[in-house]
Each structure stands twice: as C-alpha cells, then as structure tokens.
Structure 1
C-alpha cells in the first residue's frame, strides 16, 4: 500500500513519462493522447479503485501487460521462472545428496574424526562466498574436464605469434594478454561494485559522509 501510495505522492505523470519516453518535451504529447493512455491504464479512476482492481487482478493471477515489453507480464516471468526452478531443484538435490550422508555420519559417529570432518565441511560450505565458489567451479571445469574454454591466455597461439614477431614482453602482455584476461576481472568488479553501492548507505550513515547513501536516507 505504501509503494502504491508513493506512486501518486512523487511528482510527475506516469502516462506522460510513458508517452515521452522520459524526455521532458511537452510538444510530443497531445492532451488527447494523454487522456487515452490514462483511460487504457486506468489512471483516471480514483486511487482506491485502482488499488482494488490491481489487488483483485493479482489474486486472480493476472499481472497485467508490461508497459515496456508490450507482452503479458506472466509470459516474461514464465520464461525465466522455469530456469530458476530448475537451478533451485538441482541445488536442493545436490544439498540432500551431500547433507544427508554427512548428517548420518555426525549422528552415528558422534565426537569422532568423521563427525568433526563433517562439521568443518558444512561450516566451510556455509561460509564460502557463492561468487568465489562459482569462479573456482568454472576454473576447475575448464582445466580438469575441458567443459569450458580454458583461460591459459599466456600460452595461446596469438601470444606465441606476438612474441615471434619480436614484440617486447610488456607490449605482448599489455596489448594482447591483458585485454583477454580482463573478462573475469570486470565480471567480479561489477558484482563487488554493486555490493559496495548497497553497503555504502550504512557506511555513510554511520560516519556522516555526505554521499549518495546519506542523500537516499534523507530523501
């Protein structure tokens, strides 16, 4: 209810923003177009009526049509939902395969080396960051099973060709190796940067740093 209310409290017109694509150009939109879109979206009804209709549609499983993708929201969710469910089921299956035997060992062989080993293994699994474990798995699959492209950038054919041309080692590394080796670095950097943007709100609030986090808290 609060989020729905904020939609009307914040300045701006949703129908106007949709028609202009976010550009502040009133010349692109006529009053007739604006009223027609409001009628289609139901924005000309009272707020309580809009909320009631939305809530009733949600209860019936009708999520409406995506404004940006122009398709039913459920279709977009459905395409991705099965992928997520598949990953979740695989993860649960793997967890049972590993956890149940370890639990049996801990229960039957209590306070033995098997019990302690099971506890340590479980604690390591809980404490290991998912993104780091994922990188290790990719690395292992690439080198051990050759299921993924290898990352041996320094021993690739184009590296040997560059050296054979007589290029200096710093040029070979900087111009050829570095660009190809930056892919995992950029990937992890993006993940870490997103995490930092989320955590900076707390840090700026504690240390009273006048940054975006403090602005968000006071907005």
Structure 2
C-alpha cells in the first residue's frame, strides 16, 4: 500500500484500465488450459516491437478471426484469411506475425498430441511448478532467463516463429510459469498461493 492507502501494483500495468484489469486478473496466474496457452502464444508473438497495451486493445480482433483462439481452427487458415486480417485494423496487421500464428498452431497441435496436452509439454521447462520471483524493483526483472532460452531453442527447433527468448520469457510470465509481480504488489501473494495449489 502507498502512503495514501492505494494498491501498489506493478508499474507497467498503470497506463490504462485495460492493463490494470489484465494485471489484476490474468498476468502471472498459472495456466493449464491449452486454448489459453495458445492465445498467449499468439499475443506474445504479436507484441514484438509493440506495447502490451496495443496487443490488449487488439485482443478481441484476434479472438474474432481465430475463433476464440482455437488452435485447430487457426492451423487450417489459408491465404484468404490472412488477407482479411491484413485489411482489419482490429488486429496487428503484420503479415509475418499472422502467418507465424498459423504455422505455430500446427506445431502446437503436434505437441498437444505427443504430450497429451500442450500444458504438459510447456510446464516441463519449470519442472512442473511456477517459479516464484522475489523482485523488489522493475529493474530487477530480467528480459530473459535460462528457462526462456531453453523454451525458445526448443520451439524454434520445432519450427515455431516469433518465439525468441525474450518473447518466451514474457509468455512464461503471462501464463504463470513465472510469478514476476513485485513483492510490493498484492498480486504477488495471490500468485504464490495459486502456485502452491497448482498441479497438472
């Protein structure tokens, strides 16, 4: 709490009501739902070079074109669908990012089939449990880690694109493989508790 009694959230989330809601209700919560995991794989790849606020503002556009972020639906999208998205200001109109989402969906489905779920594949990179950050300042939060480098290397080896180690670390933060809420943020304790209850 601040001197005025206001909630002390992570500073990156304070620029808009959209970001505050995302920070408070989604970021850092451990996820096992494959459709949610695919959604954030798409969104984190789309963010490259942009602000997260921009991605959140375009989220519903992606949801509309990608049938609720259904990886099976995205995996079969063709050139006409890509052209329709490139004409829609409701999404980030970057051909490479949109085409990568389709290609990544196909690999996502292969991993899902091989491991029983994408979640089972993904969570092996943190030994099946959330990593609990102990950061006091935003400057202490890394851009990438050994775990995100390993995840990036494996996803690239399988043919995914827009999955560099920095993107992968942002992805791990988003879906709760890592709890990088600052210690002063009330969501840190919430995510620790969620991690203690977590199981695949």
Q: Shorter-chain TM-score: what band?
A: under 0.3
Q: Tell me: higher relative CO, structure 1 or 2? Use CA pairs within 8 A at least 6 residues apart.
A: 2
The structure whose residues are more often helix, as a share, is 1
Give the alignment's TM-score, normalised by structure 2.
Answer: 0.21
- In the superposition, the TM-score normalised over structure 1's length comes to 0.20
Question: Could you say which structure has the larger radius of gyration?
Answer: 1
